[in-house]
Amino acid sequence: MDSFEVNKVAGAVFGALLLVFGSGFVAELIYHGKPAGNAGYALPEGEAESKPAGGGEAKAVEPIAVRLASADAAKGQSGTKACQACHSFEKGGPNKVGPDLYDVVERKKGGHEGFDYSAGMKEKGGSWSYEDLDHFLESPKAFVKGTKMAFAGIASPAERANVIAYLRSLSDSPKPLPAADKPAEAPKDAAPKEAAPKDAGKPAPAKH
| Total domains in the fold of the chain | 1
Does residue 81 sit within a domain?
yes
Residue-level pLDDT at 45: 46
CA distances from 47 to 12, 50, 51, 52 (A): 65, 8, 12, 15
Q: What are residue 127's phi and psi, to 5 degrees?
A: -115, 165
Does residue 95 sit within a domain?
yes
**Higher local confidence (pLDDT), 115 or 20:** 115
CATH number for the domain harbouring residue 95: 1.10.760.10
The upper half-sphere exposure of residue 166, i.e. CA atoms within 13 Å in the direction of its Cβ, equals 20
Residue-level pLDDT at 59: 75
CA 178/CA 76 separation, integer angstroms:
18
Residue-level pLDDT at 182: 56
Among 54-58, 123-127, 130-134, 174-178, the range scoring the smallest mean pLDDT is 54-58
Cβ proximity of 137 and 154 under 8 Å:
yes
pTM above 0.75, yes or no: no
Instruction: Mention every residue, 6+ apart, whose C-beta is less than 8 A from residue 39.
Output: none
Which range of residues forms the domain containing residue 131? 63-169
Residue-level pLDDT at 51: 47
DSSP helix, strand, coil percent of the chain (3-state; round to 5): 40, 0, 60
Q: At 49, is the pLDDT very low, low, confident or very high (cuts 50, 70, 90)?
A: very low
Residue range 125-161, pLDDT digits in tens: 999 999 999 999 999 999 999 998 989 999 999 999 9
Cβ proximity of 118 and 90 under 8 Å:
no
Does residue 184 sit within a domain?
no
**Higher local confidence (pLDDT), 54 or 19:** 19
Where does residue 106 fall: left (phi above 0), alpha (psi -120 to 50 degrees), or beta otherwise?
left
Does residue 19 sit within a domain?
no
Residue-level pLDDT at 21: 61
Does residue 18 sit within a domain?
no
Measured on CA atoms in the order 105, 110, 112, 115, is the torsion positive or negative? positive
Does residue 29 sit within a domain?
no
Q: At 30, is the pLDDT very low, low, confident or very high (cuts 50, 70, 90)?
A: low
Does residue 92 sit within a domain?
yes
* C-alpha gyration radius of the chain: 41
Does residue 199 sit within a domain?
no
Among 13-22, 100-109, 110-119, the range scoring the smallest mean pLDDT is 13-22
Cβ proximity of 80 and 162 under 8 Å:
no
